[in-house]
Structure 1
Amino acid sequence: MYVCVCNAIRECEFRRAAHEHPGDAEAVYAALGKKPQCGQCLEEADELLAEERFGQRHLTLVA
């Protein structure tokens, strides 16, 4: 799955970089040699950072 379509950043590479580099999602993008383009991915990227760094997962309940 892609986290960022504009930069073709895959979820697995983003998660790996989240462990290796400090900072927010934009800092992780920079560590990958990219920068956010349209910005629609940043909310999901922040959630992935929280999952990887702090073990927090956001669950969506469906009725």
Structure 2
Amino acid sequence: MVVCSCNAIRERDVREAARSGAGCPIQAYASLGRRPRCGQCLPFARELIAEERAAAA
């Protein structure tokens, strides 16, 4: 599933970034060499990161 259409970032990319230590969407996007543009994706990206952090705990 596409999380960010502005940057063509997929759900698996955000989840992988979270597993690698990204604690917020800005960090996740930066790890992919991108930055948020319109911001519509940030709530969903936060949710995905929270899921990954909860699963790791």
* TM-score bin, normalised by smaller chain: 0.7 to 0.9
Identity between Structure 1 and Structure 2 (%): 55
User: Which structure dedicates a bigger proportion of its chain to helix?
Assistant: 2
CA RMSD of aligned residues (A): 1.0
Q: Which runs of 4+ in 1 moved over 6 A?
A: none
Which structure is richer in relative contact order (CA contacts within 8 A, separation 6 or more)? 2
Provide the TM-score with structure 1 as the length reference.
0.80
In our comparison, the structure showing a higher alpha carbon Rg is 1
TM-score with structure 2 setting the length: 0.88
Query: What is the aligned length?
Result: 55
Any gaps of 5 or more consecutive residues in structure 2?
none
